Structure 1
Amino acid sequence: MRVSTQLLAWSLTLPVICSVSAQQAVSFHGSVVDSTDAVIPGATIQILDASDKIVAETHSDSAGHFVFRSLPSGRYDLSVPAYNTFAALRTHLRLDATVDAFKITLAAESITQDVQVVAEEPLSVDPAANTDTVKVTGEQLRKAPIFDQDPIATMSAFLDDASGSSGGVTIIVDGVQVKNLNVSASAIQEIHINNDPYSLEYQRPGRGRIEVLTKPGSAQFHGELNFTFRDAVFNAKNHFAVVKPPESRRIYEGHLSGPVGHGRKTNFILSMSRQEQDTAAIVNAIGPHGVINENVSTPNRRLTASGGITHDFSENSRLNIRYATRLNTNQNFGVGGLVLPEAGYNRANREDDLYLTHRWIVTPNLVNQFQMMIEKDEDNNVSTTMAPSVVVSGAFTGGGAQSDQHLTENTFHLNDVVAWSHGRHYITGAIQLPQVSRRAVDDHTNRLGTLQYASLSTLASNKPYVYTVQRGLGRTVYWMNEFGAYIQDQVRLTPKLQLTAGLRYDRQSFLGDNNNFAPRFSVAYAPGNGRTILRTGSGVFYDFTGGDFPATVRLHDGVNLRQVQVQNPNFPLPSGPVLDALPTNIAQFAPHVRSPYSFQYSAGVERRVGKKGRFSAEYRGLTQIKSFRSVDINAPVLPPNAQIGMDFPRPDSSYGRIQSVESSGRAMLNSLDLGFRGEIGQYFSGQAQYVFARLMNNSGGISMYPQDQYHPNLEWGRGDMDRRHKFDMIGRLLPDRWYSLGVAATLYSGLPYTEITGNDDFHTGLGNARPSGVARNTLQAAATISFDVLYSHDFRIGRHSKDNEKFLSAGLSAFNVFNYSNYQKYVGTLTSSAFGQPTSALPGRQLQLSLGYRF
């Protein structure tokens, strides 16, 4: 091991800076790397006094950086215990006002090891060291069963749906929010969930976002190439498939990194993933002549490629530029369950991203990091059948999909962060433009009309309860802009007590409010010998509309796109001038709409279990105020005992439905979270999470309507994602043995769903009426149970040094090993013969073969 005074200046995240306080307290920072200068995250760094007592302890972050703040000046020992495959290190250290940054280089552990009994490492009060963080490294992902080489889908199981946003899962790649993961699986260095849940850096809470850190370039050539294969011949039949469909999946992915030129100031990394999936959807519907059950081919092709180059202009200045592209095509998309083959559509989308990151160490205690991304997206949907749509509640959806649409988006992202360390304080602040986006939409959906029927009997008698059709240009161009800023201070009040507090501001165009200030704080205290940490915190988190919903308001203004709705239509259906004379539906934001916000609060305890295990127990509450929902403010006012099939006038006869997007809903979550991370003896290494929760709300999202438009608060009930019990686990059984297994488990209680009559009882054309006295989401789906395993082995090729090892690897994964039937999409329509029954199921047992080469 060697300790140098050269600053490691090529991480993609902020370093933590040293400073000297007026009371002779000394702070210093550094980096932990291996012999190839590759960063080592998660290493423990300790400061020991003359009696070998631990004075301070911290861990290297995802970029290999560490920091110690406000230590008394004097002589110490710096110790790094053995970590993964790296040997322990110990060296003398003198702290004074002139102490420099450290670069700690860990050597590979020798084959011959000495067994030592050492004191247990204390837990850290750092806000990013919370034990209930779900954290996996690239090496752990490689040894875990990952379905379709999709780590985002695998890790999303550890998220909390109540903490998400209207736009879905928030994915952060190297500090920048993105729509999709745009690097290959092998190029991932780490994935974090719930890392510092009250961080001011992000708009969403910790359990509402996935943070991905990609591998940096390296001073030596390293690479990996993997091939994954699945075929239906090795799989169990889907529960609803009469005949097992022919399916096959082939995934090619890998990455390559190394130096550029003969110097050590420039390096590169390339990654690629190609997926060829010839899959099938299972249609399980009820038609006029009985059950419809068939397999429908749904092939998918996806290519993801990225390349980046990093250059160190000096020890204080580093620039990284990366380009990524993602192309995806799907055929017969949307088919399956109650949706017949002719109601599918083909879609193609492409995303191109250009990233620029510059980190500048202005002074030893002041750092600036500038990030910019330019993004271009294009999505195109084309229906497979040109015909009117026919929807029979609880039976089938047929005819044409009428989903023809073309969307383009050109977006600019910016994030500029300043970090300053002074004495006991570590202050960060930033100005963020999450998106400045110009979007164009060409909407040609529902041009041939949609007929909706309450049941098969009304279909037989040709009596739909509503007919809708759209006419008009259907094109709009608009800007979607977001702005954010924050300031945060981490204060180490004592070595065992740390306070983090700050204020964040967020704003989105289309929403008129400007007072979206979000204060947050958290406290961590380590009583006794450091085996236990007590944490508490609370904060405000704002939400935005998400997705492309503002386009709905721009299009459905009554001029650009006219959507005509006819209640209880007669045949022949209206067309031409007759249709143009009918009142149009419109969509609008309510006059006082604002950004919804959530108030989250929590208190928990973390405890070391053994030497390498950590257990956490936390109560977490979340109250969402001003939730989005839609209300038809022009709904008919019904007299008592209104009969089905009758027509009732709307208050404003010049319009049909007036969709008013309001921020008037609310939600409440109460949750007990139990977590474990680490090792259990020699039997298990990984992490597990159990959540006991209850989610109540009166809104299912921005596009949800209540059944009674004049009493929307009567929708209060179980939330759509209210799971009472949720258990997830990922790790390895019998680790570090030739017969060890990668394992993943999912055990969920069922989600609720709503019982509806199938009729248009409120004469709005929505068809979402429930029986009298029945609340929303009173029915219960079955549980979801899955257990996945991976057996893999690495074969060393030839004799090489530790820095230049080569391996061939082979693995066999089994997903849903016990072939449990996990049912999905239950029918809640009383008029359907399938009432209370599922219409689809997740795949049964599937086997996946993987081969790899890395050097």
Structure 2
Amino acid sequence: MKGRSCKKEGIATKRHKSHIRIGALSLCICVCVFRPLLAQSRVTFTGVVQDESGAAVAGAKIALMRQISSQTLETTSGEAGRFSFEELSPGEYLLKAEASGFNPYEQILTVRPEVTEPFRINLKVGSVKTQVTVTLDDEDEVSTAQTNTTSLRFSNDLLGGLPTNSEDILPVLDRFIVPGTQGAEGTAILVDGAEGTELDIPSEAISRIRINRNPYSAAFQNPGTGRIEVSTKRGHRSYYEGSFAIHARNSLFDARNAFAKFKPDSDRRLMQAKFGGPLPGRQASFYIAAERLMDDESAVVNAVTLSGPFAANVPTSERVYRTFTRLQWWPSELHTIFGTYDFKNKSHENDKVGGFNLPEQGIHTSEYGHKFTLRDNALFTGNVRNELILSFQKERQNMGSPATAPAVIVKEAFTGGPSQSTGRETKTIFDMNDTVTRLGVTHSFIFGSRFRTARIDALDASNFGGTFEFSSLPLFAAGMPYVFRVSQGDPSVVFAVRETSGFVQDDVRVREGLNLTFGLRYSWQSITDDRNNLAPRFAFAFSPGPKRKTVLRGGAGIFYDDLPRAARRRSLLLDGIRIRHLVISNPSFPNPFLGGILTSSLPSITRVASDIRSPYLLHTTIGVEQELRDRISVSVEYTFMRGLNLFRSRDINAPLPATGMRPYPNFLNIDRIESTAFSRSNAVTISFSGRLGKFSRSYAKYVLSKSIDDTSGTFSLPADNYNLRTEAGSADFDRRHRFNFMQVLELGRGFQFGTIFSTASGAPFNITTGFDSNADTLANDRPFGVTRNTGRGPGTVQLDLRIKKVLVISHLWNDESRRGKQQVVELSLDAFNVTNHTNVTHMIGVLSSPFFGGANSADAARRFQVSLNYEFPY
């Protein structure tokens, strides 16, 4: 009975499977037969209106007239330049587009049942920006009087084809930033128009990135080469889509770091997800992206102690969690409102370890923050557009714990003992930015204003455990430090910084092929008394001849910078009242109070100079661009930059060279933050931008430059406080030759190959004796006749590759809004530093160091990463 029962069940199972096969085959036949008929009755035609630079044109009137019946349908392009016509019958149509300030557009086209990409209408621009962008994606345009081959645009598709370590794109972008154009706070990063200095959103939230867009625009504080503009993704209004991705890397396949005794352990995993689509009513959409990074690495310690060379791989751990949410609402086709919410949570174990820092120097750091942004774009009658951006941000950073014993620093040999870095900081920032644009045939006026306020609540208990400093290993062996420092008092402070700015700009179209831009910007900051920061800007583009394949372009402008908030914080904390410094010259060791010269009764303070001024950069360029063939252009550009009133620190109470006496006997050190430094830079840039159909996208940039300045930053102190002429030398970032190349190749059959290659000549480094010969309590004295940054390190070479395979998984959507949307699986293999070149990061210039003339750390050796990404419509 049991055998018969099993036999019957087996027959039933076979029949059931047979029925499933027959049903599936029938379903496939029905779909194949009837789907073309369904498609004939429902066709949706979509498109996007752009100017010659690829920028969206909102408010354009679109008309679609069927040839056989003269039936005309009309619509208006939305804020993103998009439009659509639904329920169309296949056939020939006449498409027309009109927008104020642009030439009319007409095109006969065929609407087919097959789903195609959105149709692109490229209008001839009547009112033009001086420099826009040459893109490297599907929106490329040829070089004209309105575009610029030195500008860069990274689309989401392009970024997906380039090798990036755990999708961290900032290292890639930094290769195309000009260091001399950065502000004191670092590179300006604008996310959906809200300015900051960090890019802390999931990479899946990024739609496109632009660098060097409108370098002389009065709307921005920094030049284009020191600014990164990021646009985020939004949900679609007619369908849902999502994806899951994982990126993994393990030291099993990596090469050994050049300064590690053994291959450092490494296990890095990044998980990402996104989902977006329409909200009920299809007048709004949402988009959510999240990522989780789990990074277990090893920091390489390479030092020398009394026991001899010390090399170790110290385990470190980093956890990062980021989320991004965007809600967008279209009250009308000419009005868009969207809000975003960003959240980040970071933690790092054994931070600050590596190089000369021994394992006991490791600390725990954490950071979390929230950011809300609201953006309102409205296009009014008369071609007037208003853009309002409001943002609120709150962040908290925690670093280390109170030290229980002093630290020991032996100049460029090792740093041991417990870390003296302890503190926290909470930032609350509100930012409001409003811009009005009036488009015209010969003039386009832009004006706007910005207000920003930041409240800082900080606690900095660094060096409350004290630090012994030795000039060399033999002196450490003899127990002879040259100084002991310790801080005491109240380490907390609360303060506010307010900033406001305004600008006006006129883009003038003199005639066909000649465009001028005039701009003026004003900025003010509450923590300085500088009130006359007017920054004029001018740029031009001239394209002679009927074909406009050659463009002569140039510009000049003034760019002001702000005093860093860290300078205000330090001056409030180190005022001799909140925190007092105890300084003992030539103390006993390990108990500094048994001997030595006690100078703790004299406070050491930090002040901001009463006559401090906002630094400014004089920036000018002149260049020529030539279109070699369709979508292939080359340009040559000369740039001159002159920085004035740059920030530096100087001890105005250092012992006088003649008498050894201090000018202000009631104080020890008075570190004054001044605006007395300068910089000068000359550069020639050769750029190539090219695309061969859909098979190759390439960009190359070579820079020959020379940069000189006399400061290494806001808090950098000179070797001789009374002779600043010896500080003039090569800038810290001065690399005479720099070459960057990136390319994405479509190899066919779903294969894609991406390359990033960078090489640069060596950076300069400072040469010092390691001793405090002038008794200013700093061992940064240089040998006689040696100026700042005399040394020069080796060059760098970095080759990164990505090979990607795209697998399309077909499915049977019958919904018109989902047609053409396919499930996609992407498999990627990345290789970083393929040539395994040793790119050193720290050259040793201290004569008393056993490492003098060499290096003790380098960037990572060759590494591999695998990635899997699954994208699906819903």
Q: TM-score category by the smaller chain?
A: 0.7 to 0.9
Q: 1:382-441 CA deviation, whole Å, 9 max, x = no partner? A: 1496321111112111112111101111110111111112331111111112x3011111
List per-residue Cα deviations over 1:569-616 (Å, max 9, x = no partner). 24542399x979521110111121010000000001111122121211
Structure 2 counterpart of 1:477, one-letter code:
V
**Residue type of the alignment partner of 1:237:** R
CA shift, 1:152, in A, is 1.8
Structure 2 residue aligned with 1:810: 827
The question of 1:600 aligning with 2:629 is answered: no
- Cα distance in 2, alignment partners of residues 121 and 562 from structure 1: 61
Q: How is 1:319-358 mapped onto 2 (pairs within 5 angstroms)? A: 319-358=337-376
Paired position in structure 1 for 2:656:
637
Deviation string 1:656-677 (CA, Å, 9 cap, x unpaired) is 1101111000000101111112
Residues 118-143 of structure 1: per-residue CA shift (max 9 Å, x gap):
xx9753323xx321112111001111
Structure-to-structure mapping, 1:229-244, within 5 angstroms: 229-244=248-263
Q: 1:124 aligns with which of 144, 147, 172?
A: 144
Any idea what SS the aligned residue of 2:174 has? Answer: helix
Residue aligned with 2:312, SS: strand
Question: Which residue in the other structure is 1:438 paired with?
Answer: 455
CA contact (8 A) 2:45 2:84 kept: no
| 2:405 corresponds to | 387
Q: C-alpha separation between the residues in 1 aligned to 2:803 and 2:120?
A: 37
Match of 1:77 among 99, 106, 119: 106
Q: Where does residue 783 of structure 2 map in the other structure?
A: 771
**AA matched with 1:534:** L
Change in Cα spacing, 1:793 to 1:763, as seen in structure 2 (3 Å) is same
Matched residues, number = 780
Identical aligned residues as a percent = 31
The answer to whether the Cα contact below 8 Å between 2:583 and 2:599 also exists between their aligned partners in 1 is no
**2:235 maps to what in 1?**
217
Helix, strand or coil: the match of 1:554? helix
- Cα 1:734–1:513 change in 2 (3 A) is same
Instruction: Name the amino acid aligned to 1:139.
Output: D
Q: Is the 8 A contact 1:455 1:832 kept in 2?
A: yes
Matched residue, 1:51: none
Question: 189-198 or 567-576: which moved more?
Answer: 567-576
Residues of 2 paired with 1:285 and 1:92: CA distance?
60
Q: Which residue, out of 481, 489, 513, partners 2:530? A: 513
Select which of 478, 482, 490 maps to 1:465: 482
Residue 66 and residue 771 in structure 1: after superposition, are their counterparts in 2 closer, same or farther (change >3 A)? farther
Q: Distance in 2 between matches of 1:854 and 1:681?
A: 25
State which structure, 1 or 2, has the greater radius of gyration over its C-alpha atoms.
2
| Separation (CA, whole Å) in 1 of partners of 2:249 and 2:428 | 37
Match of 2:441 in 1: 423
The Cα offsets for residues 703-722 of structure 1, whole Å up to 9 and x where unpaired, read as 11111101223211100000
Aligned-partner SS, 2:309: strand
Measured after TM superposition, the shift of residue 187 of structure 1 is 2.2
Q: State the distance in 1 between where 2:588 and 2:684 align.
A: 55
Deviations along 1:831-854, one digit per CA (max 9) or x if unpaired, are 112101111011111000000011
CA distance in structure 2 between the partners assigned to 1:826 and 1:137 by the alignment: 37
Does the alignment pair 1:500 with 2:517?
yes
Is the contact made by 1:405 and 1:444 (CA closer than 8 Å) also made in structure 2? yes
* Residue of structure 2 in register with 1:618 after alignment: 637
Q: Distance in 2 between matches of 1:740 and 1:35?
A: 31
1:742 paired residue number: 754
Assess if the C-alpha contact under 8 Å between 2:585 and 2:598 holds in 1: no
What SS does the corresponding residue of 1:488 show, helix, strand or coil? Answer: strand
**1:690-769 aligned within 5 A:** 690-733=702-745, 735-736=747-748, 738-769=750-781
Per the alignment, residue 837 of structure 1 pairs with: 854
Task: Give the match's secondary structure for 2:861.
Answer: coil
Report how far residue 803 of structure 1 moved. Answer: 3.4
Whether the 8 Å contact between 1:750 and 1:783 is mirrored in structure 2 is: yes
| Alignment match, 1:105 | none
Amino acid in the other structure paired with 2:101: R
Q: Is the 8 A contact 1:365 1:421 kept in 2?
A: yes
Q: Secondary structure at the match of 1:582?
A: coil
**1:664-675 superposed matches below 5 A:** 664-675=676-687
- From the superposition, tell whether residues 475 and 93 of structure 1 become closer, same or farther in structure 2 (CA, over 3 Å): closer
Three-state SS of the structure 2 residue aligned to 1:562 is strand
Cα deviation 1:292-329 (Å, max 9, x = unaligned): 10011111000110111111223343221111111111
Match of 1:841, SS? coil
After superposition, what is the alpha-carbon deviation per residue over 1:414-471, rounded to whole angstroms, capped at 9, x for unaligned?
A: 11111112331111111112x3011111111101111111101111122212211100
- Determine helix, strand or coil for the equivalent of 1:591: coil
- What's the CA shift string for 1:189-236, capped at 9, x where partnerless? 111111111111111111111111111221111222210000000101
| CA distance in 2: counterparts of 1:599 and 1:507, whole angstroms | 18
Counterpart among 193, 198, 207 of residue 211 in structure 2 = 193
Alignment correspondent of 1:477: 494
- Give the whole-Å Cα distance in 2 for the aligned partners of 1:223 and 1:66: 35
2:272 corresponds to which of 226, 245, 253: 253
Matched, 1:163 2:175: no
Q: Determine the C-alpha separation between the residues in 2 that align with 1:522 and 1:373.
A: 31
Amino acid at match of 1:217: G
SS in 2 for 1:329: strand
Q: Distance in 2 between matches of 1:36 and 1:546?
A: 52
CA distance in 1: counterparts of 2:49 and 2:154, whole angstroms? 27
Identify the residue that residue 655 of structure 1 maps to in structure 2: 667
Q: Please report how far the alpha carbon of residue 342 of structure 1 lies from its aligned counterpart in structure 2 after TM superposition.
A: 1.1
1:456 matched residue in structure 2: 473
Q: CA offset at residue 772 of structure 1?
A: 0.2
SS in 1 for 2:426: strand
User: 1:414, 1:432 within 8 Å by CA — same for their partners in 2?
Assistant: yes
Offset of 1:2 from its aligned partner? Answer: 8.0
The whole-number CA distance in structure 2 between the counterparts of 1:565 and 1:18 is: 70
Contact 2:77 2:333 in 1 (8 A): no
AA paired with 1:69?
Answer: G
Do the aligned partners of 1:332 and 1:384 also contact (CA within 8 Å) in 2? Answer: no
**Matched residue SS, 2:450:** strand
Residue matched to 2:864: 847
Cα distance change on mapping 1:298 and 1:323 into 2, 3 Å: same
Structure 1 partner of 2:164: 146
- With over 3 angstroms needed to count, the CA separation of the structure-2 counterparts of 1:811 and 1:3, relative to structure 1, is closer
What per-residue deviation string (whole Å, max 9, x for no partner) do you get for residues 10-29 of structure 1?
xxx9966789xxxxxxxx98
Contact 1:367 1:420 in 2 (8 A): yes
Equivalence for 2:64? none
What's the CA shift for 1:512?
A: 1.0
Match of 2:333 in 1: 315
Structure 2 residue aligned with 1:42: none
Q: Displacement, 1:7?
A: 10
Confirm or deny that 1:522 pairs with 2:549.
no
> What does 1:521-600 align with in structure 2 at a 5 Å threshold?
521-528=538-545, 529-571=547-589, 572-574=591-593, 582-600=601-619
CA distance in 2, matches of 1:300, 1:527: 56
CA distance in 2 between counterparts of 1:36 and 1:314 reads 16
The alignment partner of 2:735 has SS state of coil
Q: Return the alpha-carbon distance in structure 1 between the equivalents of residues 255 and 46 of structure 2.
A: 57
Report the CA distance shift for 1:78/1:505 in structure 2 as closer, same or farther (over 3 A): farther
Taking the aligned partners of 1:374 and 1:387, their CA distance within structure 2 comes to: 40
What CA RMSD, in Å, does the superposition of the two structures yield over aligned residues? 3.1
CA distance in 2, matches of 1:201, 1:151: 25
More displaced stretch, 773-782 vs 86-95: 86-95
Separation of aligned partners in 1, 2:309 and 2:98: 63
Distance in 2, Cα, partners of 1:157 & 1:550: 31
